[in-house]
Amino acid sequence: MRAPVLVGYGQGFWGDSILGPIRLVREGPLHYLVLDYLAEVTMSILQKQKGRDPRTGYATDFVAMLDRLLPELVAKKIKVVANAGGVNPVACMQAVLELARKKGIRGLKVGIVEGDDVLARVPELVAAGEELRNMDTGAPIATVQDRLLSANVYLGALPIAECLAQGADIVIGGRLTDPALVAGPLLHEFGWSPTDHTRLAHATVAGHIAECGAQCTGGNFTGWREVRDFVRIGYPVIEAHPDGTFFVTKHAGTGGLIDTRTVTSQLLYEMGDPRRYLGPDCVADFTSIRLEQAGPDRVRVSGIAGAAPTGTYKVSASYANGFKAVGELTISGPEALAKARLCAEIVFGRLALDGAVYAEHEKLVELVGSGVCHAGIVPEADPPEIVLRLGVKGPDRRKVDRFGMELVPLVTSGPPGVTGFAGGRPKATEIVSYWPALLGKDKVRTAVRVEAVQ
């Protein structure tokens, strides 16, 4: 057993900077590089891609990143854990194996975790009495079953550790939880028992702190003037010890800031009941967390109480819920706010003249620049220009598309100062709505597979 174990979190979401993982690998020591690519809406997008082409359905940016880093990862013996498999871990694994062959890297072992994708099983589950009720509304999933786009269980650390135990150098999963990407390697490295809920709670909290990448190292921090060198902001490195205690740090010489405030800010991210932070591996009590500044850009985290997990997995499902279209104009000059309001009235008035009437809950009117981000908290402003965001939604695609035809005419048939229309008419796009539910763990079958480059 080696200790401490260094886990770098190089990707907070699909679209995060590719410099995160590259710099983590090149600017300091590391044992594991972990990367999160998935969000709730991402799964539905990937499912649609796979429906069109069975070779797709995974985060292609992951393979592009490995194309730049794979020889260095192998040379430095850094293992990789990612949920880049999306809804097609097999295809992602094959793409990585092919990349390694092209680079002449033999013997590399790539593992996958499967079992999270339950979309095809929803009819059988419903028939067996699983209602998969929406956790917000209480409605059974049968009410949207014919419009489902994706349905994935949030898996935890155990299958990741199993993959690593089989010798995987790269572990690819589908909907693995963000904290599990850290907890899995620690479970494997330290040989913890799956019932050691206190240590698993520490690992879960470590993953939660690091899961948004640079958001715990000074990004999105209210004390932003204290953060140095945003250009070279360091991504988090978890320095973990066998007793569960860990340090949040970053590579020496990188930008950013790590102190108890930046760590606390991230701890509060996506928080429900702080005494019962629910994960697939354990329940963590966030009120028991002890933070200590242990040096520059170094915070010690300890004292976390853990308990056994619930008997259910959370299911992240999505379904088609109509259409929307959104467009923007810039309204400039004196009385920009009043002119922007008039422009909105003109657009919806002209649409009504042509029979396209939208209910209030189907319309969007935002006067960006007047204080809409903090409406009701700050006084309304009347700046020299306003970005007018207009939108509509509804079940009728043609009616939603009709909206887009009335924005650009304002340039010549509205008040003066209308500009900024350069993106073409806004077109109707599908609305993807979220469906959170619970499913008994006894209904989920996970599997791991490891293949080596020949």
The total of structural domains in the chain comes to 2
* pLDDT band (50, 70, 90) for residue 45: confident
Q: Does 402 lie in the same domain as 292?
A: no
Closest CA to 63 of 78, 51, 80: 80
pLDDT in tens, 207-260: 999 999 999 999 999 999 999 999 999 999 999 999 999 999 999 999 999 999
Look at residue 422 and tell me whether its pLDDT is greater than 80: no
The Cα 12–Cα 67 span in angstroms is: 19
Look at residue 183 and tell me whether its pLDDT is greater than 80: yes
* pLDDT band (50, 70, 90) for residue 44: confident
**Would you say residue 185 lies in a domain?**
yes
**Would you say residue 126 lies in a domain?**
no
Residue 161, pLDDT score: 98
Q: Does 179 lie in the same domain as 84?
A: yes
Here the CATH number for the domain that contains residue 350 is: 3.30.70
Q: Does 334 lie in the same domain as 263?
A: no
Q: Does 403 lie in the same domain as 271?
A: no
pLDDT in tens, 317-367: 999 999 999 999 999 999 999 999 999 999 999 999 999 999 999 999 999
CA distances from 237 to 16, 338, 371, 372 (A): 16, 50, 37, 37
Q: Among 279, 310, 341, which residue terminates a domain?
A: 310
**Would you say residue 121 lies in a domain?**
no
Domain containing 159 equals 5-116+154-310
Q: Does 350 lie in the same domain as 288?
A: no
CA distances from 76 to 70, 84, 361, 419 (A): 10, 22, 55, 54
Who wins on pLDDT, 395 or 52?
A: 395
The Cα 197–Cα 203 span in angstroms is: 10
Q: Does 333 lie in the same domain as 279?
A: no
Look at residue 439 and tell me whether its pLDDT is greater than 80: yes
Overall pTM surpassing 0.85 (yes/no): yes
**Would you say residue 384 lies in a domain?**
yes
Q: Does 207 lie in the same domain as 169?
A: yes
Q: Among 253, 276, 310, which residue terminates a domain?
A: 310
Q: Does 366 lie in the same domain as 296?
A: no
Q: Lowest-pLDDT range, 294-303, 424-433, 435-444? A: 424-433
Average pLDDT, the chain: 96
**Would you say residue 186 lies in a domain?**
yes
